[in-house]
Amino acid sequence: MKLNRRSFVASLGATALASGIQPSQLLAAVANRFAWQREAKFGMFIHWGPYSVAGVEASWPILVPNGEISEAEYRALATRFNPVHFDPYAWVDLARKAGQRYMVFTTKHHDGFCMFDSEYTDYKITRTPYGKDILRQLANACHARQMPLGFYYSPPDMSHPGYRDTSKLSATNYRGEPERPEWPLYLEYMGLQLHELLTRYGDVAEVWFDAVDANTQDRYDGQRFVDEVRRLQPMALVNNRIGVAGDFVTPEQFIPRAIPVKGVRMDSPDHSEADKQAITVPRQEDFQPWEACMTINDTWAYRVKDRNFKSADTLIRSMVEIISRGGNFLLDVGPQPDGQIQPEFAERLEAVGRWLHNNAPAVYGSTYGPIQGQSKYRTTARGSSFYVFLMDASCKEIELKGLHRKIASVRLLSSGRPVPFTATDDTIRIPVAKEIWAEGIPVLAMRA
């Protein structure tokens, strides 16, 4: 049954009663559900499960086998999963050091293994040697540290006989078999597990669905599950990967060339059209909220063989590209099988955090800037200020056109030091001294 306006308002009333606040206050808060995401800007994505024991990617070795591990061996990894060094508070503290202001945890990936104590399967964390509910511990730590927590939940499930004929290898039918009479039972299973996630672990910031094949998402009756999120967690945002539009879109491992706009493809195959979009600053009501998810190396899960780590500078540049187009940056870590986050990830996250500490006003709570499509710099806006991120270390001067406002001051954000500039009616010129690059990408704060 779809959630109509009357039942939605009734559910808000029940939520308000339980929380001790007035329904009108909750309605006002729900109307601004995006506020926390706009403010946060930078989050930690976490892919972790028994697959980490073998150092292989999450689920895909059994969906598209490459000879690395058999499906039987993959399934048996759960009997060896015992992350004795898992410390959820250490994870949250690292995210804080990195300047990340929310976390999204993989509660169930395509393989069907649950990192929470679901009552509806034995393929779960509490049936491993570790035996404890990982999600419960992480949720408690996040709530104690006031870190918003979101849940990734995969609609595809290789372990459920309603999703596919599990007597066959996953590679033969991993897209699911909705034509079988068992399919409605699988959708019911999804509903039961989502109810667990949305009622047992406190406030949920966002629900991050995922799917193997974007062309077949409608089979999941996505609106049914979006309505359930709205009913049980009215403040939670929902992404676009269950067949309905959702609250935000999720480019994966790439950054759109232009600011995403509702109803327009993020990356047009027509380069001339894409270039035209790249310099356009849309009206706020046309803006499509978005969150780019990316990895630090080339894999989502822990993979000891993958040494292709992006530098801290590369990660910061990715962040600038994303926030200058109004997006959020969800950066993934794949913890080790013992529960610790590998040093190479931690070092880079902490380096990003140091840069963020010096330039926080240009990032948190910002939106896309008034000038787009420039190669030497990027811009963001926040209140009456806007910020210029210098991207080219060889540049000796930048020129800003089309601001349509008089600038009173320019300063280096990290130090507060004034920066000289000259202004005419429609152009501002700012000389760029080499020394301002000492602490990474420089950010200039401009006030009207």
Residue 143: both structure tokens together: 């709530």
Number of domains making up the chain: 2
Q: Structure pTM? A: 0.92
Residue 240, in any domain of the structure: yes
pLDDT the model gives residue 424: 85
Same domain, 408 and 335: no
What pLDDT, on the 0 to 100 scale, is given for residue 4?
A: 43
Quick one: pLDDT at residue 79?
98
Taking alpha carbons only, the member of 188, 195, 198, 228 closest to residue 8 is: 228
Looking at the fold, whether 301 and 329 belong to one and the same domain comes out as: yes
Burial class (CB in 10 A: 0-12, 13-18, 19+), 326: buried
Check if the beta carbon of residue 417 is closer than 8 Å to that of residue 392: no
- What's the pLDDT tens digit per position in 347-368? 999 999 999 999 999 999 999 9
pLDDT tens per residue across all 448 residues of the chain: 344 444 444 444 444 444 455 555 555 656 689 999 999 999 999 999 999 999 999 999 999 999 999 999 999 999 999 999 999 999 999 999 999 999 999 999 999 999 999 999 999 999 999 999 999 999 999 999 999 999 999 999 999 999 999 999 999 999 999 999 999 999 999 999 999 999 999 999 999 999 866 556 678 999 999 999 999 999 999 999 998 889 999 999 999 999 999 988 777 666 666 777 888 899 999 999 999 999 999 999 999 999 999 999 999 999 999 999 999 999 999 999 999 999 999 999 999 999 999 999 999 999 999 999 999 999 999 998 999 999 999 999 999 998 878 889 999 999 999 999 999 878 999 999 999 999 999 999 999 8
pLDDT at position 263: 87
Which residues, in sequence order, are bridge partners of residue 443?
A: 389
Per-residue HEC secondary structure of the chain comes to CCCCHHHHHHHHHHHHHHHCCCHHHHHHHHHCCCHHHHHHCEEEEECCCCHHHHCCCCCHHHHCCCCCCCHHHHHHHHHHCCCCCCCHHHHHHHHHHCCCCCEEEEEECCCCCECCCCCCCCCEHHHCCCCCCHHHHHHHHHHHCCCCEEEEECCCCCCCCCCCCCCCCHHHHCCCCCCCCCHHHHHHHHHHHHHHHHHHCCCCCEEEECCCCHHHHHHHCHHHHHHHHHHHCCCCEEECCCCCCCCEECCECCCCCCCCECCCCCCCCCHHHHHHHHCCCCCHHHECCEEEEEECCCCCCCCCCCCCCCCHHHHHHHHHHHHCCCCEEEEEECCCCCCCCCHHHHHHHHHHHHHHHHHHHHCCCCEECCCCCCCCEEEEEECCEEEEEECCCCCCEEEEECCCCCCCEEEECCCCCECCCEECCCEEEEECCHHHHCCCCCEEEEEC
Rounded Cα distance between 229 and 84, Å, is 33
């990894």: which residue's tokens? 77
Q: Which of 352, 394, 355 is nearest to 376 (CA)?
A: 394
Q: How far is CA 27 from the centre of its chain?
A: 25
Residue 59 belongs to a domain:
yes
Instruction: Assess contact for 132 and 149: CB atoms under 8 A.
Output: no
Question: Residue 83: which CATH number?
Answer: 3.20.20.80
pLDDT for 77: 98
Same domain, 132 and 227: yes
Q: Do 432 and 298 belong together in one domain?
A: no
- Tell which phi-psi region holds residue 257, choosing left (phi > 0), alpha (psi between -120 and 50) or beta: alpha
CB 210 within 8 Å of CB 243? no
List strands edge to edge, sheet with 149-153: 237-238, 206-209, 149-153, 103-108, 42-46, 328-333, 291-295
HSE-CB of 247 using CA atoms within 13 angstroms = 24
CATH number for the domain including 432?
2.60.40.1180
State the CB neighbour count (10 A cutoff) for residue 411: 15
Do residue 297 and residue 420 come from a single domain?
no
Tell me which residue range forms the domain holding 414.
Answer: 377-447
- End-to-end Cα, the chain, rounded Å: 52
Residue 7: predicted pLDDT: 43
What pLDDT is stored for residue 448 in this prediction? 80
Are residue 394 and residue 418 in the same domain, yes or no? Answer: yes
pLDDT for 217: 63
CA 254/CA 259 separation, integer angstroms = 13
Q: What is the pLDDT of residue 301?
A: 98
353 and 392: one domain? no
Which is nearest to 59 in space by CA: 341, 337, 342, 300?
300
List CB contacts of 13: < 8 A, sequence separation 6 or more. Answer: 23
Residue 17 in domain? no
**Residue 417 falls inside a structural domain:** yes
Both 361 and 382 in a single domain? no
Residues 83 and 223 in one domain: yes
pLDDT digits (tens, 9 = 90+) for 116-138: 999 999 999 999 999 999 999 99
Structure tokens at 261: 């706009």
Give the Cβ contact number of residue 108 at 10 Å. Answer: 28
The confidence score (pLDDT) of residue 24 equals 53
340 and 407 housed in the same domain:
no
The reply to whether 436 and 299 lie within a common domain is no
CA distance 87 to 97: 16
Cα separation, 68 vs 192, whole angstroms: 34
